[in-house]
């Protein structure tokens, strides 16, 4: 699902050097590491928003430097650190269907309706709600649902639980786990011990410019 082959990257200074790691179908990896070490940057390399300066990143079988982020997005669902960066529409339904219209433009109306009903029921969302009236936790769930409605093979989540309460974290962990059981994979940046504890996952740390288990 995801493969780093001798990947180096930096903006001014090198953040990683010769990173190698792989994530297989059915695996969840949680990535930790100190503030500013480069975790969010590493996630952006996974969906091609950034390209390695050396080495190769393969996402769902595609080399990221040979494919546009927009086409990789059909396979890799990306959640930014702040949900409000992700949200662009007025109502929950509009937001969720917008993501789908980008990655699966051929979806017919009946299927859209079915997917919308399923994902809103799963995350306790109301399709008619205006997003700006929702709490930050629910806005985060809207952002998460807008990724999951497209059913990506690889989930790339940056600090998904920051504004979630205990119940919402459990809903998210269950949602991720059921997709992993169906053969997807997930790379999740998180320091939330309560959340990591309920996920059956591999633990990775970004330290000294490499990823360690
Ligand atoms: N677009 C950018 N241009 C230049 N430097 C950046 C950019 N984005 C992040 N950085 C720097 O790269 C380092 C790693 O950032 P980031 O990946 O956000 O770390 P983390 O997510 O681990 O806290 C930080 O020092 C940050 O200031
Ligand atoms: Mg970060």
The string of pLDDT tens digits covering residues 9-46 is 999 999 999 999 999 999 999 999 999 999 999 999 99
First to last CA, the chain: 18
Q: In which band, very low, low, confident or very high, does the pLDDT at 167 lie, cut at 50, 70 and 90? A: very high
Q: Is the CB of 37 under 6 A from ligand 1?
A: yes
Q: Is the CB of 13 under 6 A from ligand 1?
A: no
**β-pairing, 202-207 with 210-212?**
antiparallel
Question: By the 8 A CB rule, do 42 and 32 touch?
Answer: no
The atom number, within ligand 1, closest to the CA of 37 reads: 22
Which bound ligand lies closest to the C-alpha atom of 39?
1
- Angle between helix axes 92-103 and 109-123 (nearest 10 degrees) is 130
Rounded Cα distance between 185 and 169, Å, is: 18
184 pLDDT more than 90? yes
Q: pTM for the whole thing?
A: 0.96
82 pLDDT more than 90? no
Q: In which band, very low, low, confident or very high, does the pLDDT at 70 lie, cut at 50, 70 and 90? A: confident
Structure tokens at 95: 């937001």
Q: Is 2 exposed, middle or buried (0-12, 13-18, 19+ CB in 10 A)?
A: buried
Rounded Cα distance between 78 and 86, Å, is: 9
- Cα of 3 vs centre of ligand 1, distance in Å, is 21
DSSP lists the bridge partners of residue 186 as 28, 155
141 pLDDT more than 90? yes
Which bound ligand lies closest to the C-alpha atom of 157?
2
Structure tokens at 164: 């979630």
Residue closest by Cα to atom 24 of ligand 1? 36
Phi-psi region of 48 (alpha: psi -120 to 50; beta: other; left: phi over 0): left
Q: Is 133 exposed, middle or buried (0-12, 13-18, 19+ CB in 10 A)?
A: exposed
User: 94-134 pLDDT, tens per residue?
Assistant: 999 998 998 899 999 999 999 999 999 999 999 999 999 99
Which bound ligand lies closest to the C-alpha atom of 206?
1
Architecture of domain 2-212 in this structure: 3-Layer(aba) Sandwich (3.40)
Q: In which band, very low, low, confident or very high, does the pLDDT at 81 lie, cut at 50, 70 and 90? A: confident
Q: In what order do the strands lie in the sheet with 2-10?
A: 14-23, 2-10, 54-59, 62-63
Rounded Cα distance between 28 and 38, Å, is: 19
């Amino acid at each position: 699902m995801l493969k780093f082959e001798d990947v180096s990257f930096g903006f001014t200074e090198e953040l990683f050097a010769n990173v190698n790691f792989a994530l297989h179908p059915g695996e969840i990896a949680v990535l930790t590491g100190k503030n500013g070490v480069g975790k969010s940057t590493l996630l952006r390399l996974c969906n091609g928003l950034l390209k390695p300066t050396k080495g190769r990143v393969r996402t769902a079988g595609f080399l990221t430097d040979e494919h546009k982020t927009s086409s990789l997005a059909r396979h890799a669902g990306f959640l930014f650190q702040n949900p409000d960066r992700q949200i662009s529409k007025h109502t929950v339904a509009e937001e969720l269907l917008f993501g789908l219209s980008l990655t699966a433009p051929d979806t017919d109306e009946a299927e859209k309706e079915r997917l919308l009903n399923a994902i809103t029921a799963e995350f306790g969302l109301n399709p008619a709600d205006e997003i700006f009236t929702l709490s930050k936790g629910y806005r985060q769930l809207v952002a998460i649902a807008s990724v999951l409605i497209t059913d990506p093979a690889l989930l790339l989540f940056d600090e998904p639980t920051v504004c979630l309460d205990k119940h919402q974290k459990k809903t998210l962990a269950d949602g991720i786990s059921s997709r992993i059981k169906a053969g997807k994979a997930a790379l999740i940046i998180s320091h939330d011990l309560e959340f990591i504890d309920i996920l059956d996952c591999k633990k990775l740390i970004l330290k000294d410019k490499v990823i360690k288990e």
